[in-house]
Structures are given as structure tokens and as C-alpha cells.
Structure 1
């Protein structure tokens, strides 16, 4: 993710367009198509083409295209713009992306192989992180100028930034059949002093719709791409939950600037999706590493009227939702200690085998 934004993307895009344009002008497309679809061996060539298109998702480098297109869309071509009046209520909203399970993703039961869920997670997480946190990512990228993250002496931290994946856990509930379409609903689950946790639900496509899509976009080619569309707002019940959710996954990300771990709330605040903290931020303009910003305890007098939106009540809502997510995340985080269970050379092994034809 960091690598994509460090490259001179506009120059690369212009050069690539020129190369493709010149190359296309020298290729006689009509003759190439006719030569492929006619003549000796045409049935074999047509069969190969059909197999490739039927499994285009698993062709080499398509995964890279899917991930990079998500990153570049939100960080370059069509920067997301969350309406200011909805920004702080958007923190826990999902991003929905759809896909399908082709033949090459199927196991011997002709279901989507459990290993392929993780490549889909790479794509949907890229959409969510770049869509929700793009303003903070941009400030982090230019930290020497924005001074978002400072060291103990109050100087802007230099170094390459990155949002790195720490671990993933996926719980499978129902199988996804061959060529069955599905949706991935990804949202921020919670965060602690180091990690941002993201939950993704694999859901049967078309089963439910959100009440609306709130994003606008700042496209190179004008305001387009995102739409405010009213959904059905159907309430999820036990029967719906059982039949529609195929799997649920939790992933955790850490934000780095050089060797420094950046507190998740620094990036969330810089992205404009956190409500004001009662009493302000103690160290947002000071050291911004793993141990900061510090929480300011504020006594509330309870004078706000019922239903009245205050800074205190907005922050409490976010804090309550975050604590609810942490109840799940703390069990996930406990799995980090599993590395200590590796026995190594302390005893015998059952055997040694290769995992492929050659390696």
C-alpha cells in the first residue's frame, strides 16, 4: 500500500498510455482476431481463451491488478470525500465489494477453497483502508510537511510509512459454490494501542442492502463514481444470518513510519473520522508513537438533554463501539503467543515431504 503511493503514478500512467497507444496502432487487431479464431488448431485456441476468461480472476498478476486498482482508485484517481456532517458517524460503516468463485478457486468438493478467501480479503481490505483513511494516509506520506507524527523532541519523524498486515483469522460457516457470486462487507471492528482490527463478512450477493451509500468522490474526471442510493434497510434476523453469511474474518493492521509504530487514533483523527475527544487531545501535537496520544479523563455532569448530540456523547458512542469490538479482538490477539509453542529440534518428527512437484 505504501509502495503504490510513493511511485510517480501520474508519470507512469502517462508513459504506459503512450506505449499502449503506439503498440495498438501497429497491431492489426482485426487480422489478429481472425487468425486466432480461424485456421488449423482454432478449436484448441478458442477453448484456451474460454478457459482463461472463465477463470480470469486467477490468471497471473490479476491479483496484483485487483489490489492496486483499489489502492489507486481511492488514493489517486477518485479520492473519497465523506460528507463533513457524516464523517464521524462513518468510522464503523462497511465497504461492500463483490466477487465470484471460478473453477480455479474450487477444491475437490467443487466449493470455494478456504485458501482463496485470503486473496479476496487483500482486495476488500485495500478498498476499506484507502476509502476510509485516505486523508490520513496522505498526511502520513508527507509527514515532514504535515508534522502529524512527531518524536520525543517534537520533531517530525522521517522514514517510509506503511500499513502492514499482522495476521488474519477466518471462520467458515457455509460453503460458496462454484461460480456463485458473493459480497464482502468489511468495516473497522476496533483498535487498541497498536493494531487496527478489520472484520469482513462473506455474504450471499443480493441478500441485503444498506440504507444508503454516503461517499462522494473527487475524481480526475469530475464528481462521479460513488452514488447516494437508498437501500432496503432490512433488519438482519436469525434466519437471515444463518442462510446468508458464508464466513467471517478478522484482520489486524499496524501503522508504521520508519521504525516507529503510530497509534491508530492518530491516523483515524487525521482522516477526520473520529469525533472530538472530551478535553481535547493531550499529545496529538507531541510524540505520536505507540504510547500516544494519551487519554484525557473528563468528568461529565450529565446536563446534556436526552437525544442531544454533544462532543462527549459522540466520543462515548465511538468508545462503546470500540470496546464491543475489543471483546472479540482480545481473543484474536492472544493467538500471538502461539509462536512459543513451536517445538523446533527438541524432539523427533513424523517425516519430511515436498509440497509440490519440484519443491
Structure 2
């Protein structure tokens, strides 16, 4: 076999390999692109993007001014996502387990955006934090223990949020590659925990008329209702009467509770919210400006509205005592 024949065979083999390679790699690349959200380390990149953006790049940007009718503390942040192929369950709907990874990203944006001033002040601005008399009712609050402090101590290092629990309720399925929004906001707090509520809703079903922290965004005319009614149950144990009303299509909602940790101490949510400049300045004896007092009352009314729901979640702690060590179990896998 001469050199020209060998060269021809090698060239033909190379072209066949290239053709097969393109035939195999093209679909593989396509699958990677349409499942980019679910690839390894993508969750970490999504999480760190929000952390770096809010904690480092925008940490000193002033917050919008609160008014009694427009409370910055309770405003929502909106995170948009979709359901790739790798997030589907055997029913070809978004798997229940994947809601929690989306919640991580949505809550991260909310916490580090809304509370950016508090996180930036832990080492410099809070040298002599004042103690504010707590407006929290002892009937619903979690009592402080020996590891809980009402103040932030700059000498103990940074303050960080620690997730203490999530309760999620599923209402409707999310279809493949369907886009949806996660609306996250503060719902209430007590002496230990701050509670967030996140709603998974149809994209565009609840367009706001504006964004207080992003005034450059285009305002939209509010969409009156989705094609379907929001399904809400009857009056629950929280005491809030819910009715079936026209509104955005809600796929699921979750309540999460966070503690603010500094070293091993738990910082009072009230003290941290003061550091974030989200609560008005009121002295221990109730002194302060008239506008500050009115704002405080409006905030307290809103906080108490959510405490029924949050109290139910706090009651889940009783589940710790329901574990039973049994001599005979059913099976092991």
C-alpha cells in the first residue's frame, strides 16, 4: 500500500470522525444550552452573582424613603426564572424539590438588596447601638435565650443571615420551559426570627407600576387579572380571611425564617432592621419625631398582620419532640 493510498484512507477516516463528532456534539451542545440553569456549579454562580452585586457593588447605595402608605421594608423583590428539562419530574412538571433551589436565589437577592446598609455597617457605623423598646407581643414572640443579643457588637465580626426553616405549599404545576416570577418580601419578625414569604406566580401576571429601588425601570400598567382565579382557601388558623379573588396565577408559596448571626450570637431582628435604616429612630422611652412615630405604627400594624402565619410556622418546632426511637422499625433502605 503506497503513501497516497494511506493518505487517502487517513483523510477519509478523519472526515468520518469529524462528521460523527458534529452529529454527536451538536445535540449535546444544544442539550447543555437548554439546561444551563441545571448544570453543575450554575446554582453557585447564580447565588454569588446576587451576593457580589448587592453586598459589594451596591452596599452603600441609599434605600428609598419609607412612608406610612409605602413601607420599603415590606416591598417585594421579583426574580424571574424558568423550568429546563432537567428540572422536570415524571409528570413532566417542575419537580417539587427544585422550588427550593430557586428560593435560595430569590431570597438571596432580597436579603442582600433590602438589607445592604445593615450588612455594610456591622464593623464601622454601629459602635454604640441603642436599645429600642420592643413592640413585640410576648404572646407571639419567641423568647430570647442566653445566646441572643439585642445589639450588634462590632468586635464580633460580620452579621450574616442563617436560614432556620422553610415551609412550602404547592398549588399548580409549572410546565416545561414556562417562565415564572418569584415575589419575595418580609412578612413579619419576632425577637429571634425574621420571616419571608415568596410566591411563585405567572410571569407578567402581577406587573408593578414602579420600582422604588430601581426608578429607572419602565413603569407598567398593572394587569387586572390572569385568565384564572387565584385559588385561596377559607379562613385559616392565622385568622386572616381568604377569598377566591381575581388575581395572578399562583403556582406555589413558601414561608422562610432567618436568624441574623454574629459569631455564635443571634442578633435581634429589630436591632438589625434599625441598622438597615428600615425602622424609624425611636428611643427607649418612646421619644422621637411625630413622623417617625406614625411610621412605626404603620410598620407594627403590618408586622402583626403576618404574625398569625408566622406563629403557625413557629409551631412546627414541636415536631422535634415527635421523634421516637423504636426497637422494631418497618424497614431500612
- For Structure 1 versus Structure 2, the TM-score category normalised by the shorter chain is 0.7 to 0.9
Q: Deviations over 1:96-119 (max 9, x none)?
A: 010000111000000000000000
Superimposed CA distance per residue, residues 107-158 of structure 1 (whole angstroms, 9 cap, x where no aligned partner): 0000000000000000000000011000101112x26x63266979997442
Q: 2:78 aligns with which of 72, 87, 96?
A: 96
- SS of 1:310 mapped into structure 2: helix
- Quote the Cα distance in structure 2 between the aligned partners of 1:146 and 1:163: 18
Q: SS state of the match for residue 230, structure 1?
A: coil
Q: How does 1:1-359 map to 2 (within 5 A)?
A: 38-79=18-59, 80-84=61-65, 89-140=71-122, 142=123, 146-147=126-127, 156-216=154-214, 227-234=216-223, 240-242=229-231, 244-277=249-282, 280=283, 282=284, 296=285, 310-344=291-325, 346-353=326-333
In structure 1, distance between residues paired with 2:80 and 2:152: 44
Q: Deviations over 1:261-283 (max 9, x none)?
A: 10111111111111233xx2x2x
Q: What is the distance in 2 between the residues matched to 1:163 and 1:184?
A: 20
Partner-residue secondary structure (3-state), 1:328:
helix
Deviation at 1:237, TM superposition (A): 9.1
* 8 Å contact kept, 1:94–1:187: yes
Structure possessing the higher relative contact order (Cα contacts under 8 Å, 6 or more residues apart): 2
Distance 2:22 2:229 in 1: 48
Q: What's the TM-score, normalizing by structure 1?
A: 0.71
Question: Is the Cα contact below 8 Å between 2:64 and 2:72 reproduced in 1?
Answer: no
> Residues 188-230 of structure 1, C-alpha deviation per residue, up to 9 Å, x if partnerless?
01110001100000000011211201114xxxxxxxxx62432
Report the Cα distance in structure 2 between the residues aligned to 1:120 and 1:70, rounded to whole angstroms: 13
- 1:176 counterpart SS class: coil
Q: Secondary structure at the match of 2:199?
A: strand
Secondary structure of 1:41's counterpart equals helix
Structure 1's 254 and 107: CA in aligned 2 closer, same or farther, altered over 3 A? same
Distance 1:318 1:236, change over 3 A: farther
Deviations 1:49-70 (Å, cap 9, x if unpaired)? 1111111111000000011101
Q: Check conservation: 1:208, 1:232, Cα contact below 8 A.
A: no
CA distance in 2, matches of 1:41, 1:233: 50
| Alignment TM-score, normalising by the size of structure 2 | 0.77
Is residue 129–residue 151 contact of structure 2 (8 Å, CA) maintained in 1? no
Q: Distance between the aligned counterparts of 1:351 and 1:71, measured in 2? A: 43
Assess if the C-alpha contact under 8 Å between 2:205 and 2:223 holds in 1.
no
Is this contact kept in 2: 1:215–1:228, CA < 8 A? Answer: no
Partner of 2:133: none
Q: Determine helix, strand or coil for the equivalent of 1:40.
A: helix
Q: 1:38 to 1:232 in 2, by over 3 A?
A: farther
Distance in 1 between the 2:36 and 2:128 partners?
A: 41
- Asked whether the 8 Å contact 2:150–2:268 carries over to 1, the reply is no
- How many pairs were matched up? 282
- Looking at secondary structure, tell me which structure has more helix per residue: 1
1:98 touches 1:181 (CA, 8 Å); kept in 2?
yes
Residue 236 (structure 1) shift: 6.2
Q: Which runs of 5+ in 2 are unaligned?
A: 1-14, 131-148, 232-247
> Structure 2 vs 1, CA of residues 269 and 38 (structure 1 numbering), >3 Å: closer, same or farther?
farther
